Amino acid sequence: MEKMRINKAFTLIEPGPVVLVTTNDGNKNNIMTISWTMVMDFTPMLAMTTGPWNYSFAALQETKECVISIPTVDLLDKVVGVGTCSGADTDKFEKFRLTPLEGKQVRAPLIKECLANIECRVIDIVKRHNIVVLEGLAAYFDKARKEQRTLHAVGDGTFIVDGRKLNRKKMMVEKLPPGL
Amino acid sequence: MEKMRINKAFTLIEPGPVVLVTTNDGNKNNIMTISWTMVMDFTPMLAMTTGPWNYSFAALQETKECVISIPTVDLLDKVVGVGTCSGADTDKFEKFRLTPLEGKQVRAPLIKECLANIECRVIDIVKRHNIVVLEGLAAYFDKARKEQRTLHAVGDGTFIVDGRKLNRKKMMVEKLPPGL
């Protein structure tokens, strides 16, 4: 997994893929499946909605760290599996045969099998709305990976796979952040 | 455009499509293109990141109302066009030949050409993060529309079109909100 410039990392989240979020509570690793995320700026700042109903929330709140991993379509059953059991009684890395990799900035692990990973620190929790605000610190992208299509959760148990890509860079040149 | 049950409206936003957001400042209609959105709950509560740098923000803040419209791939050039000019000097409905339709709950217009529309009221603005929190009040979906594939902005001037849909309802049955 190669390093990716951090000011490009927002482009991993902006299309709205379902993501895996890892934490480490000082004792063990955990993973949750999240599709309620949002880009907030290009640095990047990111938001996600979560709260005490997710077992990972305690570790997130205490360590103020996590990794956002971007899975692809071949990982769909693992993504759904991770989202339908709890870290309270399950080692999800073991159960779903996912491989934790050490990051550089945070103790939460990267996921080797994912297309990309973003190490993040929690910079704020907006409690009245259960919004966790994250800053991306370092990003990694697996260029060698053959399958690069991500998944978009509809919320009714179905998922949309990435289709073709259309280019409007010329029309948008004045609106794009520099260095992309 | 037929009425859609409001508790299904989050499924329009959860996949992460680029959206058009309309406002009416009491005098004229405007539209902005937004891809920084997030579902917050199933009622639905939705978040979007925007601020004074968008001309629509003043109307949004003052009227506390907007409509979120979901465009499809055939509307890409209008979506990019709307996002690269300003309502300060442009009537975007006229320029991009979009048709405003009267809503029931808010003065901001629906967009006839879009696949779906959600009438929303602003229930909070988290100023320190430029997050606008919305509650969906009524939703509409154009079932008769042939093209239903939405667009996902990557943020670098490219857009991913919806591909195929995969079904994992059985695996997720215990996690899905009732009534979907």
3-state helix, strand, coil in chain B (%, to 5): 20, 40, 40
A166 closest CB neighbour out of B129, B159, B165 = B159
Test A163 with B161 for CB contact under 8 angstroms. yes
CA pair distance A176, A172, nearest whole angstrom:
6
Test A49 with B39 for CB contact under 8 angstroms. yes
Q: What is the pLDDT of residues A31-80, one digit of tens each?
A: 999 999 999 999 999 999 999 999 999 999 999 999 999 999 999 999 99
Q: What is the DSSP string of B100-155?
A: EE--SS-SSPEETTSSEEEEEEEEEEEGGGTEEEEEEEEEEE-TT-S---BEEE-S
Rounded to the nearest 5°, which phi and psi values hold at A22?
Answer: -100, 150
Cβ of A11 under 8 Å from any chain B Cβ? yes
Cβ of B179 under 8 Å from any chain A Cβ? no
Interface of B with A in 104-143 (CB under 8 A): 124, 126, 128-131, 133
pLDDT confidence of residue B178: 84
pLDDT band at A87 (very low <50, low <70, confident <90, very high): very high
Contacts with A87 (C-beta within 8 Å, 6 or more apart), sequence order:
A30, A31, A32, A55, A56
Q: What is the pLDDT of residues B37-58, one digit of tens each?
A: 999 999 999 999 999 999 999 9
Model pTM score: 0.97
pLDDT confidence of residue B136: 98
What DSSP character marks residue A135? E
Cβ of B11 under 8 Å from any chain A Cβ? yes
CA pair distance A47, A165, nearest whole angstrom:
25
Amino acid at B113: E
What is the separation, in whole angstroms, between the first and last Cα of chain B?
A: 20
